[in-house]
Structure 1
């Protein structure tokens, strides 16, 4: 009986902490970072579509999914609300501009190592920022904490996953490589621990997690820190 009472008290304290977090001002992605991230992710998606020899419409669809796919998954599947790509009049013209730019300078852009470097930097900042936005929205929707983490991760990496699936590739985010999805999972959990467990403001916790993920991501690229497959050797398809 005392253990049951203690569990109930802990649950009540958690709910109070969750309510206190919801009453705090929401972390907002700076609009310049938002638009720059959408533009550059659209450029990366357009390059992938171009390499697959798609026509303009096909390249545009790949670019849309690459740049806004995480939010499409978050809002269309989990939260069931209108995605920003449909409600914000800026996104679609911005993506069309990115596709047109890639089409106009396709030979130069496809061979520019600078594009990959810039996209890596934007990934390092934008992915955790949008993951945290997904965490906040799913908390507001009353989703249990494990589901909150799922929504946050999907919001952060969903665009790249949808892009790769659409063009018939295994998602790069799910293959062994430099630290990416595992880093997103880590910062999502830490954000919830800091805000719900220790009462840290969402703004401070969000920027702290962005800095942490950016540092991990850049160091993993610089020093080639790589994840390993769970099962070593050739895949079943290769045998």
Structure 2
């Protein structure tokens, strides 16, 4: 299992890459610097806040460690001055979001298990930690969360795979820095492959639908 120091730095890394994705989305939505900071903070801290409240780690780390609050601000400053060209922002958002997904599914699962939850519950909270910030980000940006959209590439499944791998590593006693990094990389690569090849989760079996005159789907 990770030492508190390693856990802390992994959390900060996940917060940073998720916060970058939130700030980049704010740029794409033409938000001002305050909107960028709020969206970056919500994206970076949202999943971890939910996890900490569920496992009873209160007050949450986001309110007890100044680094957790400063990291989204640092990501906002970076994006404010060095954001990519407009036509490349969407790709950057997806890449950083995938990186945050991979890091948080690992750190969320490990922290939940460290607070006494079973392996299955820890994996579920790892998924919630990874996907929660993205859901909050999309809601604040007035978009349907990618997690809920059938016409978007799979989002939760890569995090679920990563969290499950971490839980299995804990169960077999093989969790360490290298294997946890491999689990995070697996979730990251699966998400990027889903984006590249348009992998989507199946909908209801034998579901029938047709397109209306305006292109809206009717069941």
Taking structure 2 as the reference length, what is the TM-score of the superposition? 0.75
Distance in 2 of aligned mates of 1:35 and 1:190: 22
Match of 1:139, SS state, is helix
In the alignment, structure 1 segments of 5+ residues that lack a partner are 1-23
Deviations 1:39-64 (A, max 9, x none): 44334323434555655544432221
In the alignment, structure 2 segments of 5+ residues that lack a partner are none
Aligned length: 210
| 1:96-175 correspondence to structure 2 within 5 Å | 96-100=73-77, 102=79, 109=84, 111-113=86-88, 115-175=89-149
What's the offset of the Cα at 1:163?
Answer: 1.2
Q: Is 1:203 aligned with 2:177? A: yes
Distance in 1 of aligned mates of 2:176 and 2:148: 28
Taking structure 1 as the reference length, what is the TM-score of the superposition? 0.70
Alpha-carbon contact 2:23-2:76 (below 8 Å) kept? yes
Moved over 6 A (4+): none
Alpha-carbon contact 1:69-1:162 (below 8 Å) kept? yes
Distance in 1 of aligned mates of 2:201 and 2:191: 12
